């Protein structure tokens, strides 16, 4: 079986402003139809992903589990607002 190239990095969350995935830069429609695209169509999409990713906010709007738990416990707000894992270093 032939491997299908994919830009997916398993960070599947869509930026509501741009409509692009925070992880790969594709739109929902592109993600859903990826398996049906020809190798040429996938390559054309992948060529534009770097420019797309430069336009997303880079922060998913979803609250992470770590932040939610800190908020619910009334914990350290500074640690809760740091990127995931930063407070653990």
Helix (H) or strand (E) holding 72: helix 65-73
How do residues 50-61 score in pLDDT, each as one tens digit?
A: 999 999 876 655
Buried b (16+ CB within 10 A) or exposed e, 27-40: eeebbeebeeeeee
Q: How far apart are CA 19 and CA 41, in angstroms?
A: 19
* pTM confidence score: 0.62
- Token look-up 């990713």 returns 53
21-67 pLDDT, tens digit per residue, is: 998 999 999 999 999 999 999 999 999 999 999 998 766 556 666 77
């Amino acid at each position: 079986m032939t491997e299908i190239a994919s830009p997916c990095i398993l960070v599947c969350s869509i930026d509501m402003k741009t409509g692009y995935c925070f992880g790969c830069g594709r739109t929902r429609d592109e993600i859903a139809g990826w398996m049906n695209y020809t190798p040429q169509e996938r390559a054309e999409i992948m060529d534009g992903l770097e420019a797309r990713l430069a336009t997303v906010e880079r922060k998913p709007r979803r609250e992470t589990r770590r932040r939610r738990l800190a908020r619910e416990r009334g914990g350290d707000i500074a640690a809760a607002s740091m990127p995931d894992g930063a407070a653990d270093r």
